[in-house]
Chain A
Amino acid sequence: MTNLFIPRDSAAVAVGAEEIAATAARRRGVTVIRTGSRGLHWLEPLIEVETPAGRVAYGPVGADDITAVLDAAIAGGAPHRLRIGKPEDHPFLKRQTRLTFSRCGIIDPLSWSDYVAHGGGKGLTRARAIGADATIAEITASGLRGRGGAGFPAGIKWKTTRDAKGDNKYIVCNADEGDSGTFADRMLMEGDPFALIEGMAIAALAVGATKGFIYIRSEYPLAIAVMREALGIARARNLLDGCDIEIRVGAGSYVCGEETALLESLEGKRGQVRAKPPLPAHAGLFGRPTVVNNVLTLATAPVILADGGAAYAKHGAAKSRGTMPIQLAGNLKHGGLFEAPFGLTLGELVTDIGGGTASGRPVRAVQVGGPLGAYFPPALFDTPFDYEAFAAKDGLIGHGGIVVFDDTVDMARQARFAMEFCAIESCGKCTPCRIGSVRGKETIDRIIAGENVAANIALVEDLCATMKAGSLCALGGFVPYPVLSAIRHFREDFEP
């Protein structure tokens, strides 16, 4: 029998993994095991064969290569033009520190025995043994900060929720990963769903929650399907400790990734942002104390509990502790998932690891942190990838997405798009965002048309100051980042 590992990750499926899996399944003596993705997305579809010397990978396997690659793989990892060798020896993987993504791409996401064989379950076992207070202490000691983008210390959020009074409490997993250039939540849910479930069970135990919700965006049908199946298995195995978890699916709204809009949406309403206070930790879902954490934050809790908060905190830089699953995307030769301790510079990530542009042209701009993140020019490539270092350069790391543009990009159009996107996705509750985004788009249109350029740039800058200070949430409040950074670093694109 030959074991072939073929990813069922959306990024692999989008470039032909299903066709390979179907062809391989017709071969005699072959067992096809569907996995998540290793995160070397430029090599997808990347398939692996088990050999006595370990797994051997081939990729990217195009439609015309399937037969020959399967022949070589089944022959014990024989040579072929697309043979990569052992995946773990690939420099892209070798340079990573995989803590949150340690199993992704390796195991069958829906095999509980695979999960346990690769270290799964230890975190929850330890949390049960040490109890709620010590569990929160480990999370606090780890220095783990919210991976959704805001970077709020997870331990403090959990402690606040634990200390809040409520007849019941909720754990809400924010899986509404709407930022362009990000896909780590999707990969984790598709490739290692039990890690998220275990993380939610740990959080529930820590704060005393009786119910959990995973809010997944509708653009992720495969992640929804895998999470549903994994939850069924977890329920059947009684892994949830009396805190049942329910999956809810979004309906196409970017702003529902904002935690209070997400709570409104979970309550069945319009996804409109709530004013804070009250914090969700005090009065969140249905008015009850609620932890809202991103997928990656929750999925990292098991490894922190298993190995201890101190071991996790050893990684990282300054106040950004641990590792960050960085997502390399856009016009990049080596796009994919790169989990590493905080502190690599942007230049290392884009040039050394990402390999520069896919088009072969010079890099001109890099947007970090999604559609509300700043555009950085290569002159800022020495910025270390951590929360404070990016804030100091008027940027943000957000959910860890890096989108690279070559020198064909028109930054005035990118600034216009940021305002247009904000106008489309604004929930409409606050005026700076609802009206400001529309007026911002119109004013940038005038700049592009060459009308009163200097005066209109000053107007956009003034508008951005109002939006930043006056918006209720990060949508209107952060859209000035891409707009102002484009004006500041790429002014020539706005001049006639």
Chain B
Amino acid sequence: MSAPIAWTPARAAEIILSLKHLDGACLPILRAIQAEFGHVPPEAVAMVADALNLSRAEVHGTFSFYHDLRAEPAGRTVVKLCRAEACQAMGGDALAERAMRKIGVDWHGTTADGRVTLEPAFCLGLCSTAPAAMVGERVVGRLDETTLGRLLDAAP
């Protein structure tokens, strides 16, 4: 996945135009906007509402329902650590605590230097190679404190 670009209403309008023909276009458009800009600013919600002939409340309702969608940009690397049962069984909770202590953030937090945002994931489907995480779009399994620490250090 390429790095997000700076928000411009013109580019957002292009994205909306290219997807508005879809059935149930609201969520695909919001996802595409986030993929492009790294977040969905309130201005985009208004534009989507306008284009799909929905109320802002409806579009905001969709936007605010989904954990993936965010109103503010994330850090340069989003690290999703799995918090679900299979990873818990392999020490996932302790690993998460150490990671949080190391970079000084809680869940959903972004490091002060803007490098890393830490998000919980509830299952990445890597339950037989637990504990698991996603660093950007890269999946990693059989994590321990050393490998996770290395990945966090290497995040740009």
Contact = CB atoms under 8 A, between A and B. Distances in A.
Interface stretch (A104-112, A310-318, A329-337, A460-468): A329-337
B81 to A, nearest CB: 12
Nearest to A329: B127
Contact of A265 (B27, B61, B121): B27
Interface string A323-355: 000011111100111000000000000000000
Interface string A408-423: 0100001001000100
Contact of B139 (A14, A414, A421, A424): A14
A105 to B, nearest CB: 14
Given A251-B69, A404-B89, A330 B130 contact: yes
B113 interface: no
Given A15-B142, A249-B31, A405 B26 contact: no
Contacts of A270: 61-62, 65
Contact of A335 (B67, B68, B128): B128
Interface stretch (A138-146, A176-184, A379-387, A445-453): A176-184
B23 A41 contact: no
A401 interface: yes
Interface range on chain A (Cβ under 8 Å from partner)? 35 or more
A249 B68 CA distance: 11
Contacts of A10: 124-126, 139
A371 B82 CA distance: 13
Interface range on chain B (Cβ under 8 Å from partner)? 35 or more
B67 A253 contact: yes
Nearest to B59: A268
A102 to B, nearest CB: 20
Contact of A183 (B26, B31, B65, B128): B128
Interface string A251-277: 111100000000001111111100000
Q: Provide the main secondary structure of the chain B interface.
A: loop
A251 B125 contact: no
Contact of B122 (A178, A186, A248, A336): A178
A295 B62 CA distance: 25
Contacts of A252: 66-69
Interface string B28-70: 1011000000000000000000001000001001100111110
A279 interface: no
Interface string A217-231: 011111000000000
29 contacts: A11-B128, A14-B126, A15-B129, A177-B123, A181-B84, A186-B125, A218-B68, A219-B123, A219-B134, A221-B137, A249-B28, A251-B30, A251-B67, A251-B69, A265-B27, A268-B27, A269-B58, A270-B62, A286-B23, A328-B128, A329-B127, A330-B85, A330-B90, A367-B85, A401-B86, A403-B89, A404-B89, A406-B89, A417-B88
